Structure 1
Amino acid sequence: MASVPVINLRKGHAVRHNNDICVVSDYELKTPPRMASYVQMSIRSITIGKVYNLRMTSNESMESVNLNRDSHEYSYKDGDGYHFMHPETFEDVLLGDDKVKDVKKYLIEGQKYLIVFADEVVAGIELPPSIVMEVTEAPEGVRGDSANNVYKTATMETGLDVQVPLFINRGDKISVKTEDGSYLGRAN
């Protein structure tokens, strides 16, 4: 593998640290006055989940690990974990709670997601920018609450709570931004 200067790393890059594959989860280049610049970063091990907080000088390097992204369809969840199927090879990829904990409120059966592999080990799941979900619970809008930007909390089919306008009702399909779980609009 190639060695890469730490100043060239960014969030989402994979590196080898202590003979373990880690993904950069937080990165900041600091340049204090009259001092040498340094990089403050957090990296998360993809095998054990441990987070390392590192402070390295800007001229240090780390070993880079190639990431591969492959589209898989979310099939179902059972006692073993979350099952994803490759659409061409029909290979089943089983992920535990630790790999999907940040994205499980966006997992819908039949939806395609990018699974990120680092040296044939699953590093995580990349969500699309937005996803269409069905509203399963939404309180009725109160008559007279017609001021601009009035929202209510609606629960989606995955259990995600989203702030939606008063006109959204149970059974409606809406588009949700996966970055922050915000309402984008009605979907067809």
Structure 2
Amino acid sequence: MASTADFKNGLCLEFNHDIVTIVEFQHVKPGKGPAFVRTKLKSLTNGKVVDKTFNSGEKITTARVEKRPHQYIYNDDMGYHFMDTSTFEQIPIEEKLIERPELLKEGQMVDILIHDETETPLGVELPPFVELMVTYTEPGIKGDTATNTLKPATLETGAVVMVPLFVDQDIMIKVDTRDGSYSERVK
């Protein structure tokens, strides 16, 4: 059990017969009336985001969720397959439980959220940035740097990311997995 004073981003709760995580929260103390907490809750089972207001001091049941390191191996019609690096046990996970599956590269390390009581996987957390090779992009025009123009680039995983004009084919780039955007070139 926890109260609204214990809220922090990433805290997992049992809410409406579901397991949710707090995406963002805000304590509000109006001039008149009791204090309350506005939250955005994301379901770990179906990915829906819900706005919910809690009264200040309200008791909430927390869910025990563990992050376990796994290595991405491959995907097929059964889902995406990951291997536990300590036990070498493989588990398949559905595509809907992965935030940005198009950025997964074979051999990449990820964290899998697993519910402690039922031992079921709830989601896959990619690292904040991944380094991927650009396999195809149109060549940039020399001297066209007056504006902050972007062009599409296809990466080794098949994902398409908008990159600046100076990025060419066969260049390693860093991609932000939270929003799928270009971050920087890898030296």
| TM-score of the superposed pair, with normalisation by structure 1 | 0.85
- Name the residue aligned to 1:140: 139
Query: 1:69-118, CA deviations, whole angstroms, 9 ceiling, x for partnerless residues?
Result: 11111111111111111122111121112201x22122111101111122
Aligned pair partner of 2:59 in 61, 79, 82 = 61
CA displacement at 1:139 relative to structure 2 = 0.8
* Counterpart contact for 2:134–2:155, Cα < 8 Å: yes
> Judging changes above 3 Å, is the alpha-carbon distance between structure 1 residues 28 and 130 closer, same or farther for their aligned structure 2 residues?
same
**Pairing 1:18-57 to 2, within 5 Å after superposition:** 18-47=16-45, 49=47, 51-57=49-55
| TM-score of the superposed pair, with normalisation by structure 2 | 0.85
* Counterpart contact for 2:45–2:97, Cα < 8 Å: no
**What is the DSSP-based 3-state SS (H/G/I as helix, E as strand, rest coil) of the residue aligned with 1:33?**
coil
> Judging changes above 3 Å, is the alpha-carbon distance between structure 1 residues 185 and 21 closer, same or farther for their aligned structure 2 residues?
closer
What is the distance in 1 between the residues matched to 2:91 and 2:23? Answer: 23
CA displacement at 1:68 relative to structure 2 = 1.3
What is the distance in 2 between the residues matched to 1:157 and 1:139? Answer: 15
Query: 1:17-76, CA deviations, whole angstroms, 9 ceiling, x for partnerless residues?
Result: 244332223423222221211122233443455555422101101111222111111111
**How many residues in Structure 1 have an aligned counterpart in Structure 2?**
185
Larger deviation: 152-161 or 6-15? 152-161
> Judging changes above 3 Å, is the alpha-carbon distance between structure 1 residues 175 and 51 closer, same or farther for their aligned structure 2 residues?
closer
Alignment of 1:177 with 2:176, yes or no, is: yes
Identity %: 34
> What's the RMSD between the two structures over aligned residues?
2.2
* Counterpart contact for 1:42–1:52, Cα < 8 Å: yes
- Name the residue aligned to 1:116: 113
Following TM superposition, the consecutive aligned residue runs of length 4 or more in structure 1 with deviations greater than 6 angstroms are: none
Question: Which segments of 5 or more consecutive residues in structure 1 lack a partner in the other structure?
Answer: none
